[in-house]
Amino acid sequence: MNKSVEIVVTDKLLASGGAVKRVKRADQIVEAVKRWVVVSNLQPGERLPNEKALMELFDCAKGTVREALKSLEVQGLVSIKTGPNGGAVLVQVPYALASQMLRNYLHFQHPTGPDIYELRDLVEPEIARLVVDKLSADDLNELERLTNVCAPIADSMEQRLEQRIAELDFHSLLAERCGNPLLGFIGRFLNDLLKDLVIFKKVHLPEQREFSKSNLHYHQELVNALRAQDAVAVERLMREHMQCAHKFNLELEAQLSKQLLVST
């Protein structure tokens, strides 16, 4: 089946069914193109048919096609190039955009630090197990550098924030290298949530030195175990690390609630 026919077939499938018929035409085209990309296993850099071809395929006006392409561009799925050789080119949706959009949704669900750690307890040990044999020498050196950033006792709010971010960047690097795109995304996304919803709310609370010491200890031990490619030790250490971090985060949440009560 050629690409043009595939788009038409996908569009007809999309248009079937009572609920979908009420979706406006431009949105139907967007969803049809998405399905076509998945079914055809298209890759970043491949071009969509030009405007005229899309108008014919979907039996619609130029304005409708342009609205659909603009929507795909806003969603990060295509790049629109102008000129004689222009058109819509498929692109890899940037992680930062995907993360930001999902975080925007969750901002209004008000997840707490403990909510996030309930998922981290499950995800982080598995990421750690998978990443053991996938780290380069540069990766290991970067993990060690991030760990060393957190070694001194912070003497300013800026240094405290730098250390908290370095701790999360440690985990994000592991997530990026784990080899499982879903686990990798979830791991990085949870770290982004912690930056947004925990660090920037709680960095002004009194320093929890025991929390910092615990994080430093586990990161140092994890680097050693990762260098030795000791998968059993890595998974055990990460599980213990998350359990300790979860406990400390519950204490932080209690401090924040108390502070809010006092200030109201």
Q: Of the residues 90, 113, 139, which one is the last residue of a structural domain?
A: 90
- Min mean pLDDT across 123-137, 144-158, 223-237 is at 144-158
What torsion, rounded to 10 degrees, do the Cα atoms 171, 174, 180, 185 define?
Answer: 40
Q: What is the CATH number of the domain that holds 34?
A: 1.10.10.10
Q: What does the pLDDT average to over 226-233?
A: 97
Q: What confidence tens digit (pLDDT) does each residue in 27-60 have?
A: 999 999 999 888 988 899 999 998 899 999 899 9
Count the neighbouring beta carbons within 10 Å of the beta carbon of residue 88.
24
Q: Of the residues 65, 90, 115, which one is the last residue of a structural domain?
A: 90
Domain that holds residue 258: 95-263
Number of domains in the chain: 2
pLDDT at 4: 47
Instruction: Residue 184: name the closest of 59, 85, 98 by CA.
Output: 98
Give the whole-angstrom CA distance, residue 48 versus residue 64: 15
Residue type, 208: Q
Strands (E), 73-170: 78-81, 87-90
Per-residue confidence at 205, pLDDT binned at 50, 70, 90? low
Q: Of the residues 56, 90, 124, which one is the last residue of a structural domain?
A: 90
pTM (predicted TM-score) = 0.78
pLDDT at 16: 45
